[in-house]
Amino acid sequence: MVEGGFTKLFQKRLFFRFAQKYQPLGSGEPEEETHEECELKIIEQEKEVTVLPPKDACKCHKEDLAKALHVDLQTGLSEFSVLQRRLKHGWNEFSVENTEPIWKKYLDQFKNPLILLLLASALVSVITKEYEDAASITMAVLIVVTVAFIQEYRSEKSLEELNKLVPPECNCLREGKLQHLLARELVPGDIIYLSVGDRVPADLRLIEVTDLLVDESSFTGEAEPCNKTDSVLLAAGDITTLSNVVFMGTLVRYGKGKGVVIGTGENSQFGEVFKMMQAEETPKTPLQKSMDRLGKQLTLFSFGIIGLIMLIGWLQGKHLLSMFTIGVSLAVAAIPEGLPIVVTVTLVLGVLRMAKKRVIVKKLPIVETLGCCNVICSDKTGTLTANEMTVTRLVTSDGLQAEVSGVGYNGEGNVYLLPSKEILKEFSNVSVGKLVEAGCVVNNAIIRKNSVMGQPTEGALIALAMKMELADIKDIYARKKEIPFSSEQKWMAVKCTLKNQDQEDIYFMKGAFEEVIRYCTLYNSGGISLSLTPQQKAFYQQEEKRMGSLGLRVLALASGPELGKLTFLGLVGIIDPPRAGVREAVQVLFESGVSVKMITGDALETAVAVGQNIGLCNGKLKAMSGEELDQLAEAELSSTVKNVSIFFRTSPKHKLKIIKALQRAGAIVSMTGDGVNDAVALKSADIGIAMGQAGTDVSKEAANMILVDDDFSTVMNAIEEGKGIFYNIKNFVRFQLSTSISALSLITLSTVLNLPNPLNAMQILWINIIMDGPPAQSLGVEPVDRDTIKQPPRCVTDTILSKSLILKIFMSAAIIISGTLFVFWKENPKSGITPRTTTMTFTCFVFFDLFNALTCRSQTKLIFEIGFFRNRMFLYSVLGSFLGQLAVIYVPPLQKIFQTENLGVLDLLFLTGLASSVFVVSELVKLCEKRCCQQKHTKGHHN
């Protein structure tokens, strides 16, 4: 309403000024009507202005463009027009709809089936007047839910701090004045001025350009900036071919330009990706599915217990209601209320450990999902590679070869002459020195604070000169003339003269080999110019082809007194090299059963070169283009994509297709990317991983995880963490279920067989504290085993309660029950139960519990392999439980509460020896399993 009132007032003032200028004689009333009509006419005209799709705008002449958008290209829009257009098109920004209130996010945490099961058991406890149980279960649930909520909320906040808004400011022409505005204020038809370093604030159709180069890697994945023109295109192809249109969020690398806004906010190309991303649903994580299944299994188990006890009671002729009450109490006790706490704490610790490694995890279960991940689809530019063009090879005109170390624009690295590996500096080798000098002089790039201002390929030549200590050599020349690069001529030249010397002019040229060689008549041989022979030309052509086949972008360099008589100096090979640590990470992932696939918008040669460099599929590469993908049917695609390691010339839709096909084939897919073109795929993947520094806001919004330092190798640490978390949860489940089954079985047997109860209520409560308390919780914080990364990814269909785990649970429970019943039978005099009987039975059960916890630290490794002292928290909690048990036996006030009496040293030694049997048997089982596995492995190798 306020905005509408302001608009009306503005319109009145505007037309009042117009009316004053041309005031006719006579009555003003009919004229007022004319003003109203005129006003309505302009408003209607403004309403007709629509956004122009890039593919239509690129074919429009400037005059047609001005007409379609009702704008004067020399003065820009009036404030009145801007207000009218904003009413129709809105602000130039994205509205994120999922702004859920905090209370709703908190309540969402209760949707977990296990949490619902616990709340149901708390309700049953209230009905059966077991108020202490109800309070403890409710408390446990609230702790779990609050911890999970706080951690996820903190991750969201850290993401907000990390995010930087899409282009916040721009230079805009309005009412004939150049104004500095916020990008959100733009409307279709605004005239924008662009210069080096600007982020494009909206989709623009260019109407004036001067050597304009725009980095569109966030959209297309192409590392090389695009040459932009203002001329009309006859046909519109893919967005990568629209040379007279620039897109929101892309970066001006060089030159300047002027353009008309043709699309804002959600009507821009950026907005199209944003809408696709919002339409994609984030899949449920494997851990959430496993926990759902465990919740259902425990519910069935609980109902089974209730039914069994009621049946036995009915057969014995007991009162059904009392048997139902006993059954429900036992079922409630069987549900491990500590499990959600352990799962949450384990995940939170995983998230915190990841945060130390500079990885932000937005949702807790995502950490564990990485343990199931068996395919990583990665964007190339900026993720696997550094998005910094770097010279890696040199070939001089006299046939010398040199390789260059170091990546990026920091000047770190050396030039090595081959094969001697001699480090070259300045003109220690004349041929290499002259080649590097030419690349530095015929250059408009500047390197400041390790970043390039200008063309990345030119930046690579400056960085090369810095490595040779020749970066200042261009200062000895005074530039007289420049012939700029154009896509038609494919070369650039500068005419220079040496400062303070009366020498003749010298030309330096760089460009495509086949173009540069046409201007050369001589070649340099150790500083002497010799006549260029056909044999020499053939040699250079062969070298250029060889370098090109390695995925290098090859530039030829020459210098001389005039353009037709240049001396050929040599060839320079440039590539966007792999990031440090990527090759090693890919190798480790490959060995652990995770396949890495590269998806890029680049050409085949470049993609294959990078793929070989980083060791994809151990060098056995199979590539497929976006076009080939489109031709495959859905069923065929799922079987084909599994065997392809490189996808080139792809669009966002292709990325989505690849991920969906892999998921249909049963893969758990992780996608890493940084660009707008990766956003949709990041959201639909099981784990979306965005880059924190190079990543666009859209990609960070879509992802589940963010690598703050853009380091691909931290994905490996995350996978290790994910695998370790699942193992820890399994260890806890084994301990808690084996303990609770043992306790339940003792009570059930005594109830069913009409025997005296071996444990009293306070003793059962103490056992429950150990079962759900520190010793159990400390199993969840067991440090990740170093060999975990070598384990193959976990199968999604694997439940937490696997067959082998159930067998181990029942084995431990059987040993604990047998041992405890043996002590109860041994210490039970004919006269009836005495305090000594319950003390011995109770202590025996607790000791069994602690030894059981010790063996549950790992499912496969012996205690000597994992080490006694690796999990300090476990040691402290077991020691605390042991001292607590001694206090219960020997401290008089506690003896009264727990109805215990002093035990002798021999009693304690006997109980320790008996209770250790659960530990010894479990360790022997692990040893047998290990031997069997080794034998199978050996047989497999022999076969």
Distance between CA atoms of 253 and 307, rounded to whole angstroms? 74
Backbone angles phi, psi at 668, to 5 degrees: -100, 115
C-beta atoms surrounding 517 within 10 Å: 20
Long-range interactions of 470-478: CB distance < 8 A, separation 24+: 470/426, 470/433, 470/436, 470/437, 470/440, 471/411, 471/440, 473/437, 473/440, 473/441, 474/440, 474/441, 474/443, 475/499, 477/441, 477/506
- DSSP of 911-939, one letter per residue? HHHHHHHHHHHHHHHHHHHHHHHHHHHHH
Distance between CA atoms of 854 and 874, rounded to whole angstroms? 9
379 labelled catalytic: yes
What angle, 0 to 180 degrees and rounded to 10, lies between the N-to-C axes of helices 803-826 and 835-855?
160
Tell me which residue of 426, 409, 414, 386 sits closest to 460, measured CA to CA: 409
563 in Cβ contact with 507 (< 8 Å) = yes
557 in Cβ contact with 509 (< 8 Å) = yes
Distance between CA atoms of 943 and 939, rounded to whole angstroms? 6
Across 705-738, b (16+ Cβ under 10 Å) vs e yields bbbbebbbbbbbbbbbbbbbbbbbbbbbbbbbbb
Distance between CA atoms of 770 and 848, rounded to whole angstroms? 11
Count CA atoms within 13 Å of residue 793 on its CB side: 27
Distance between CA atoms of 534 and 516, rounded to whole angstroms? 15
Distance between CA atoms of 602 and 597, rounded to whole angstroms? 14
Query: Distance of CA 226 to CAs 604, 647, 916, Å?
Result: 18, 22, 72
348 in Cβ contact with 342 (< 8 Å) = no
- DSSP of 140-200, one letter per residue? HHHHHHHHHHHHHHHHHHHHHHH---S--EEEEEETTEEEEEEGGG--TT-EEEE-TTPBP
Q: What does the block give as tokens for 366?
A: 């995502």
Query: Distance of CA 102 to CAs 106, 222, 281, Å?
Result: 6, 40, 21
C-beta atoms surrounding 599 within 10 Å: 27
Distance between CA atoms of 612 and 614, rounded to whole angstroms? 6
- DSSP of 353-364, one letter per residue? HHHHTTEEESST
Contacts of 87 (CB under 8 A, 6+ apart): 3, 7
> Active-site residue among 190, 203, 379, 907?
379
Tell me which residue of 290, 289, 324, 288 sits closest to 308, measured CA to CA: 324
The residues assigned a catalytic role are 379
